[in-house]
C-alpha cells in the first residue's frame, strides 16, 4: 500500500471513533427503534379503536321525536338508550295544577319551569322509569291510570306522580328524571 492509502484509512477510522460519521451500529439502532415504533402503533391503533362505540350504540345515543301528532293532554312513549321516555303535551289546566302545588309539600321540590325548556313549558319530557325500583309507570296510554294527581302511576309499588312528573305519593324518592333534549324545530325534539 502506498502512504496515501494508509493515511485515508486512518482518517476514516479516526472520524468514526470521534463520532463524525454514521456507523453500521448506529444505523441498526435507528432501524430497530423505527421498527419497534411502527410495530407498537400497529398494535395500539386497533386496540384503541375497538374501544370506540359501535354504530348501533351511536345510533341509540339520541332519539328524535315528532311532536306534531301529540295533542294537548296526550302523552307518548319513545325509546332512548333502550329505556322508555315520556313525551307529554300539557294542557293549560295541567300547567296551572302543577304551578299551584307549594314546593314545600314536595319530596323532591322542582317547579314545572325547572323541568321544561323556556318557551316550551307545555312539553314535558321525562324518562319513563320509576325512581323507586325501575318499573315503567302508567299514564301515557289511553285509559291507563294516572293516579290521584293526574300524572303517572307506577303499578309495581304505587308511586304517584303529578302532571309535572314530580313524586307526590308512594315509595319513590325522586321525580322522574328529565333527560337532556333540544327542540330542533317547532315540531321536532332531539333527546340525548
Count of other CB atoms within 10 angstroms of residue 156: 15
- Using pLDDT thresholds of 50, 70 and 90, give the confidence band for residue 135: confident
Q: Is there a single domain that holds both residue 25 and residue 66?
A: no
The catalytic residue among 23, 77, 107, 157 is 157
User: Residue 21: CB partners within 8 Å, gap ≥ 6?
Assistant: 12, 15
Task: Kindly state whether residues 130 and 184 are assigned to the same domain.
Answer: yes
One domain for residues 93 and 172: yes
CB count within 10 Å of CB 78 equals 18
155 within 8 A of 175, measured Cβ to Cβ:
no
Residue 190 CB neighbours (<10 A): 14
Q: Determine whether 157 is an active site residue.
A: yes
Residue-wise pLDDT for 64-106, tens only, equals: 888 888 888 888 888 888 888 999 999 999 888 888 889 888 8
Range of the domain at 22: 3-49
Who contacts 120 (Cβ-Cβ below 8 Å, separation ≥6)?
Answer: 183
Residue 6 reports pLDDT greater than 80: no
Amino acid at each position: 500500500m502506498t502512504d496515501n492509502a494508509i493515511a485515508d484509512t486512518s482518517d476514516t477510522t479516526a472520524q468514526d471513533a470521534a463520532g463524525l460519521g454514521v456507523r453500521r451500529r448506529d444505523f441498526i439502532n435507528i432501524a430497530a427503534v423505527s421498527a419497534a415504533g411502527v410495530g407498537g402503533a400497529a398494535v395500539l391503533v386497533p386496540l384503541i379503536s375497538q374501544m370506540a362505540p359501535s354504530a348501533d350504540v351511536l345510533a341509540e345515543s339520541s332519539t328524535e321525536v315528532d311532536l306534531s301528532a301529540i295533542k294537548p293532554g296526550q302523552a307518548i312513549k319513545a325509546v332512548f338508550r333502550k329505556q322508555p321516555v315520556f313525551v307529554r303535551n300539557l294542557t293549560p289546566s295541567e300547567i296551572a295544577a302543577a304551578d299551584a302545588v307549594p314546593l314545600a309539600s314536595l319530596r323532591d321540590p322542582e317547579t314545572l319551569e325547572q323541568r321544561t325548556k323556556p318557551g316550551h313549558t307545555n312539553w314535558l319530557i321525562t324518562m319513563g322509569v320509576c325512581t323507586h325500583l325501575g318499573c315503567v309507570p302508567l299514564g301515557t296510554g289511553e285509559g291507563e291510570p294516572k293516579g290521584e294527581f293526574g300524572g303517572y302511576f307506577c303499578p309495581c309499588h304505587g308511586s304517584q306522580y303529578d302532571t309535572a312528573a314530580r313524586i307526590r305519593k308512594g315509595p319513590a324518592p325522586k321525580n322522574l328524571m328529565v333527560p337532556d333534549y333540544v327542540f330542533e324545530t317547532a315540531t321536532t325534539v332531539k333527546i340525548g
